[in-house]
Structure 1
Amino acid sequence: MADFPFDVVAFDLDGTLADTAPDLTGALNHALGELGRPPVSADSVRGMIGHGARALLQKGLGATGGATEELVERGFPIFIDHYVAHIADGTQIFPGLESALDALAARGVKLAVCTNKAEGLARALIDALGWERRFDALVGGDTLPTKKPDPAMLFEAIARCGGGRAAYVGDSITDTDTGRNAGIPTIAVTFGFSDRAPELLGASALIAHYDALIPTLERLAP
């Protein structure tokens, strides 16, 4: 449909496209256990996600006795090996997402993933969820020299989709800051991994279910 207001819609991954907290919690607690630390709860992990695996491990160590660079370096490969082996054991796609993505694609919208998750891990997760051909572009936390909230990642994702009018969908202050820094409308989902109330994210709009994505994008027409 030529009159749809956006040519590209980009999405964060963890907490936006899928609930990855169960598998990230499993990997984090495995690494913490190997380092002699107690486990952390899945609820606490949800507030730690968003800046990449190394930052998640650092926060987990900080919450269980303190993080040193030596501990992070020792625990990081343990975390990654476990996560890769169990990357989609408990991860769930959020309700209504598949239909929303289908509806966007039917309107000729290009779809991108823009995540601080390392590109290799993001691609492995996307493949495990059966999305090998779902997205037109993927930009991860190590694709460029900078990470979100630097808008360069988002600009790159949009460019890889051919450019044009774009919107971003995320779940955290990192995402809304990225969209704001890029100067594009940003929708925040209220069911993600935010460390603060959704109303405090400063998003252009909030949605509580993916059924609301298309109408919200239409309302945010530039």
Structure 2
Amino acid sequence: MTRAVIFDLDGTLIDSAPDIHAAANRLMAAHGFAGFTPEETRAFIGHGVPHFIACCLRARDADATGDLHRQLVGEFEAGYKTAVWLTEVYPGVADALERLAGMGFALGICTNKPVAPARAVLAHLGLDVFFSVVIGGDSCPARKPDPAPLTAAVTGLGATRVLYVGDSEIDAETSVRAGLPFALYTQGYRKTPVAEIPHQTAFSDFDALPDFAAGLLP
């Protein structure tokens, strides 16, 4: 029976908010809109690029459903593939991944970030070697919190016992809908108090994750 740990990406393994903020402001400026603060763009993260761009447009009183939205989504996704230079790995992530792999866990990614930028940033940060399966926001017809992407990651890993790790309400809902236990990383992009998010464990230090996973999935 294969044990696996599947991770969200932005806000869970990596702090990509600075790159996303910079890319959004470049795009908005190119179309004559005022930029955003880092806190504003951080609040838009989590549901995938179309939702993110819709939030940006609504915040500037622009149409978030028509041709402009489609154009900006395409332009953002094109530039997003190289938006890696301001992104950092959260402390302890690499060591935790090495420990989990050494304990025999299969490792995967399930993120609402498009799969090409997800793979690009993983490679840039040297984390790609850990993950045999990467499911992005455009890998399935639906995005999280629909459980289909997470189920696809589970199937791709051939796993029978799985822990999902994420940082947000979206990740928690996805895990619940997929019927999987959830570990909440509390230093990411969540907008809700920890106590109000369904989880089996909450942690702020990645050093704690391998032991929890081993205890949950012996």
TM bracket (short chain)? over 0.9
What SS class does the counterpart of residue 217 from structure 1 fall into? helix
CA distance in 2, matches of 1:196, 1:46: 14
Q: What is residue 143 of structure 1 aligned with on the other side?
A: 139
Of 97, 112, 123, which residue of structure 2 is paired with 1:116? 112
Q: Which residue of 1 aligns with 2:76?
A: 79
1:167-213 superposed Cα distances (whole Å, 9 cap, x missing partner): 00001111001111111110111111112223222122111110111
1:186 match: 182
Cα deviation digits, residues 98-133 of structure 1 (max 9, x gap) = 010000000010000001111112111111112232
Aligned positions of 1:1-222 closer than 5 A: 7-68=3-64, 69-85=66-82, 87-221=83-217
**Kept after mapping to 2: 8 A contact 1:112/1:161:** yes
Instruction: State how far apart, in whole Å, the 2-side matches of 1:171 and 1:67 are.
Output: 30
TM value normalised by structure 2: 0.93
Deviation at 1:219? 4.5
- Residues 3, 161 of structure 2: 8 Å contact kept: yes
**Counterpart-to-counterpart distance in 2, 1:89 and 1:67:** 31
Unaligned runs of 5+ in 2: none
SS in 2 for 1:193: coil
- How far is the alpha carbon of 1:76 from its aligned partner? 2.2
Q: By how many angstroms is 1:16 displaced?
A: 0.5
Q: Which runs of 5+ in 1 are unaligned?
A: none
Aligned residue identity for 2:108: A
Structure 1 residues 218 and 133: alpha-carbon distance in aligned structure 2, compared to 1, 3 A threshold: closer
Please report the RMSD computed on the Cα atoms of aligned residues, expressed in angstroms.
1.8
TM-score if structure 1 supplies the norm length? 0.91
Taking the aligned partners of 2:75 and 2:150, their CA distance within structure 1 comes to 30
Q: Conserved in 1, the CA contact under 8 Å of 2:6 and 2:165?
A: yes
